[in-house]
Chains A and B, each alone.
Chain A
Amino acid sequence: MSTVTKPDTRRLDFGDLMHRYGTFVILIVLLAVASMLSDVFLTQRNLMNVLRQVAATGLMAVGMLFVILTRGIDLSVGSVSALGSVVSAVLVQQMAPGLAIGATVVVGAACGLVSGLLVAFLRLPAFVTTLAVMTIARGAAFIASSGQPIRMGEAGQTITAFGTGFVAGVPYPVLLMLAVFVIAGLVLTYTRFGRLVKAIGSNRDAVRLSGISVSRYEVAVYVISGILAAAAGIISSSRTGIGSANIGVGAELDAIAAVVIGGASLMGGRGSALNTFVGVFILGIIANLMNLANVPGYHQQVFMGVIIIGAMLLQYGSSFFRR
């Protein structure tokens, strides 16, 4: 039977607006609330602090964004960052810092490659596949570090210098994160790769039937995610100069939360780098606020969850209640 397409009724209503610009509304509300609650909040020092604390999450969120755009998910990023942290700390003792970092990135890429090949070619569900890679990477990190924190010491000076240094008042890790976000934004907007990644998430069949090798792109996004997760691991250990298999526990959830608060669809095809950055920033502000307000650690987790649900309701709930 033939179907009749409904005429396009595009009204600018509240739900639609919230859906599109909700992320920014949340950011503005949060900034307003924060500046009322605390005199310290809106200082440059504090804002830089917020950004530095989310630098690692931000890198992982960019990788997650690419994966989610293809309608996938990467649960392994937290563990891969731990592996990256340990591997960089071990290798930096044995080789030039540049080489050590390069090798660490390769390890991250390899983790992503495993997930990507399994998901793209064997069509295994991304959720379970990356869950498995998550435990493998975490285990490998513990093995490589023998369960002990590894001091980078003298050899790791370049890395710690990067972790603690500033340029014009902006910490290096923050610069790196911003650069990665800008590049991701450009890639998504202007390149064939970015365009096809979104198209694949939106309608995989149609892209495949246009003669495009969909699997290659799917593998690529997991590799990107693995690389950025390993880089996030290096960033995490660069401030303290200690590589540890214990970092990044639950970081995948922060990354997913940032992407989703940024308005991306877990069904693929929709999301942007700018919005994801705002999502990351929002998570950072909430954590920072609770610190400034002396909310105890465990309570913070509960609040964080509640606030994330609230943010989602604001974006999606209004269109739900309209029905």
Chain B
Amino acid sequence: MTEVVQLSGIRKSFGGIHALKGVDFVLRSGEVHALLGENGAGKSTLMRVLGGEHLPSEGEIRIDGLSAVFHRPADAMQRGIVVIHQEMALVPDLSVAENIFLAELPRLISWREMKRRARDIIQRLGFDIQPQAMVRDLSVAQQQVVEIAKALSRNARVIVFDEPTAVLSVQDAERLLTIIRDLRDQGVGVVYISHRLDEVFRIADRMTVMKDGTTVGMVEKSAVTIDDVIRMMVGRRLDALFGEDVPREIGRELLRTEGLGRGNVVRDVSLTVRAGEIVGLGGLVGAGRTELVRLIFGADRHDAGRIFVAGQQMRIRRPGDAVRAGIGLVPESRKDQGVVLDMPIRVNATMARLDPLTNLVGVVRRRAERQAVDALSDQLRIKASSQDAPVSSLSGGNQQKVVLAKWFHAEGRVLIFDEPTRGVDVGAKTEIYSLIRRFAAEGKAVLVVSSEHHELFGLCDRILVMREGRLAGQLMPPDYSEEKLLKLAMTSNANAA
């Protein structure tokens, strides 16, 4: 077994953010090498560097011992390196055969030749897909096979799989693992990124664990247990971000869902949040947390289950229904969904409840509106030149405060935060935490989705953990540890936690 890829001292920064801080990584041919770490540890960035999508700021890439510089994905492919991303790079309206040979289509296409070669490769993978079928019509698993076939058609010697089974059913995932083993036996070097640790332990030969943009260590599978790996991924961090908690009285139930679901994205979720309570929703990216809160808020329509607010069943089919029921959502993507960037702070802050500020003919009473927004700005300490300044002129933290202002003004009873501090600087984070607490202290129910575990631990009275669309379990304060949370989020034998 030879070392086909050697990455040493790889650094990569975006703006001021150091995504990779000197990473070493070695891949042999004929091995499956798992790359592990929490969300944001830098796994995908590292593989983008290897695949030629990012030029590293520092460090060296060696392929077969020879130094290489990849300016674009084509350079990496030239050397036999192919990265298969979760969001696949196929053209839906072309046939399977055309997709496989997309990069090397001859000027004049011989369909017969192309179909024959495509069929050969697909059969080598043990699948039966018609080369002339449209990619659009294939299942996700079949599309993945086409991606792999595309890689093989270029004589790939290194294939990187980024979360390949996340979107697959159990049977399809099983078949994919078989294909990967075959590839390994044929001498291909496979990098395997996955959050499913039990799966990783079945297929990987070696593992490299990353955390905060560096490698924690490289281990042989036979030498470690799942718990060892989780401990490596988590490490230790301390935060004094959260400040003082205000005394809160936990009252009656304000939000309850019963068997809430949509397709297989969210399945059979029953939860309650009480007045004055802050409940966290933990889990991995893609576990269905955002999808769940969008159902509660009516941003997407649920096809199973019921939603109760203050004990009363509510028909929530669109966001307007939720707002009338007293629910607010601070969405995950602030700029796309939280604020209208080009419009003034004032307009954004009052948008969810204009009625009390509007007269009979629909004219907005400017003075009343200004007073209301002034009060909100003071309360939330929004730093802006004036309330007529467009939201786009504010910092991320202040933009987020405008979204909070909107829901404070709406005076709901239930407020849902989806990644409330994403892209927000440390100072504003602390302020947002204390605002969330104050909201709860006023006797309202708060649900917080966060991928930052310490945020959940610091803020929440209890944490519900989701895995693959379902509630996998609940953590209460004495049990707050990243090991326990990850175990619930990542492994199917969750009861052992």
Taking Cβ atoms with an 8 Å cutoff, the residues of A that contact B are 1-5, 8, 190-193, 195-196, 198-199, 202-203, 205-213, 269-270
Query: Most A CB atoms within 10 A — which of B331, B338, B351, B406?
Result: B351
**Cβ contacts B355-374/A at 8 Å (1 or 0 each):** 00010011110100000000
A192 to nearest B CB, angstroms? 5
Docked pose: A191 CA to B319 CA in angstroms: 22
CB within 8 Å of A: which B275-317 residues? 297, 299
Enumerate chain B residues within 8 angstroms of A3, measured Cβ to Cβ. 14-15, 423
Name which residue of chain A comes closest to B396, CB basis: A5
Secondary structure class of chain B's binding surface, majority of residues:
mixed
* Contacts known (A199-B347, A210-B406, A211-B322); A4 close to B337, Cβ less than 8 A: no
Q: Is A2 a contact of B422 with CB atoms below 8 Å?
A: yes
Enumerate chain A residues within 8 angstroms of B423, measured Cβ to Cβ. 2-3
Q: Is B406 a contact of A192 with CB atoms below 8 Å?
A: no
State whether the Cβ of B180 lies closer than 8 Å to any Cβ in chain A: no
Docked pose: A3 CA to B396 CA in angstroms: 10
The 4 closest A-B pairs by CB, nearest first: A211-B323, A4-B15, A210-B352, A203-B340
Q: Is A207 a contact of B340 with CB atoms below 8 Å?
A: yes
Q: Is B395 a contact of A5 with CB atoms below 8 Å?
A: yes
CB within 8 Å of A: which B323-352 residues? 323-324, 329, 331, 336-343, 347, 351-352
Enumerate chain A residues within 8 angstroms of B363, measured Cβ to Cβ. 190-192
Q: Is B393 a contact of A211 with CB atoms below 8 Å?
A: no
State whether the Cβ of B320 lies closer than 8 Å to any Cβ in chain A: yes
Docked pose: A121 CA to B45 CA in angstroms: 40
Enumerate chain B residues within 8 angstroms of A213, measured Cβ to Cβ. 318, 320
Q: Is A199 a contact of B343 with CB atoms below 8 Å?
A: yes
Q: Is B339 a contact of A206 with CB atoms below 8 Å?
A: yes
Q: Is A205 a contact of B337 with CB atoms below 8 Å?
A: yes
State whether the Cβ of B247 lies closer than 8 Å to any Cβ in chain A: no
Docked pose: A93 CA to B330 CA in angstroms: 59
State whether the Cβ of B148 lies closer than 8 Å to any Cβ in chain A: no
The contact of A209 among B45, B319, B358, by CB within 8 Å, is: B319
Enumerate chain A residues within 8 angstroms of B336, measured Cβ to Cβ. 203, 205-206
Enumerate chain A residues within 8 angstroms of B15, measured Cβ to Cβ. 3-4
Q: Is A206 a contact of B338 with CB atoms below 8 Å?
A: yes
Enumerate chain B residues within 8 angstroms of A4, measured Cβ to Cβ. 14-17
Q: Is B319 a contact of A208 with CB atoms below 8 Å?
A: yes
Enumerate chain A residues within 8 angstroms of B410, measured Cβ to Cβ. 211
The contact of B331 among A195, A198, A209, A270, by CB within 8 Å, is: A209
State whether the Cβ of B233 lies closer than 8 Å to any Cβ in chain A: no
Q: Is A199 a contact of B351 with CB atoms below 8 Å?
A: yes
Enumerate chain A residues within 8 angstroms of B396, measured Cβ to Cβ. 5
B210 to nearest A CB, angstroms? 14
Enumerate chain B residues within 8 angstroms of A202, measured Cβ to Cβ. 340-343
Enumerate chain B residues within 8 angstroms of A269, measured Cβ to Cβ. 340, 342-343
Enumerate chain A residues within 8 angstroms of B319, measured Cβ to Cβ. 208-212
The contact of A195 among B323, B339, B364, by CB within 8 Å, is: B364
* Contacts known (A1-B14, A205-B337); A211 close to B324, Cβ less than 8 A: yes
Docked pose: A199 CA to B406 CA in angstroms: 14
Q: Is A270 a contact of B342 with CB atoms below 8 Å?
A: yes
State whether the Cβ of B354 lies closer than 8 Å to any Cβ in chain A: yes
State whether the Cβ of B243 lies closer than 8 Å to any Cβ in chain A: no
Docked pose: A193 CA to B362 CA in angstroms: 7
Q: Is B358 a contact of A192 with CB atoms below 8 Å?
A: yes
Q: Is B342 a contact of A191 with CB atoms below 8 Å?
A: no
The contact of A210 among B16, B323, B341, B393, by CB within 8 Å, is: B323
State whether the Cβ of B477 lies closer than 8 Å to any Cβ in chain A: no
6 contacts between A and B (CB under 8 A): A206-B339, A209-B297, A210-B319, A210-B351, A212-B319, A270-B342
* Contacts known (A190-B364, A212-B320); A195 close to B341, Cβ less than 8 A: no
* Contacts known (A1-B45, A5-B396, A209-B329); A203 close to B341, Cβ less than 8 A: yes
Enumerate chain A residues within 8 angstroms of B318, measured Cβ to Cβ. 208, 213
A159 to nearest B CB, angstroms? 29
B366 to nearest A CB, angstroms? 8
Q: Is B17 a contact of A2 with CB atoms below 8 Å?
A: yes
Enumerate chain B residues within 8 angstroms of A203, measured Cβ to Cβ. 336-337, 339-342
A1 to nearest B CB, angstroms? 6
Known: A206-B339, A213-B318, A269-B340. 15 other contacts (CB 8 A): A4-B15, A4-B16, A8-B392, A190-B363, A191-B363, A192-B362, A198-B343, A203-B340, A206-B337, A208-B299, A209-B329, A209-B331, A212-B319, A212-B320, A269-B342
Enumerate chain A residues within 8 angstroms of B65, measured Cβ to Cβ. none
Docked pose: A211 CA to B297 CA in angstroms: 9
B390 to nearest A CB, angstroms? 10
Docked pose: A1 CA to B338 CA in angstroms: 19
State whether the Cβ of B259 lies closer than 8 Å to any Cβ in chain A: no
Docked pose: A195 CA to B362 CA in angstroms: 10
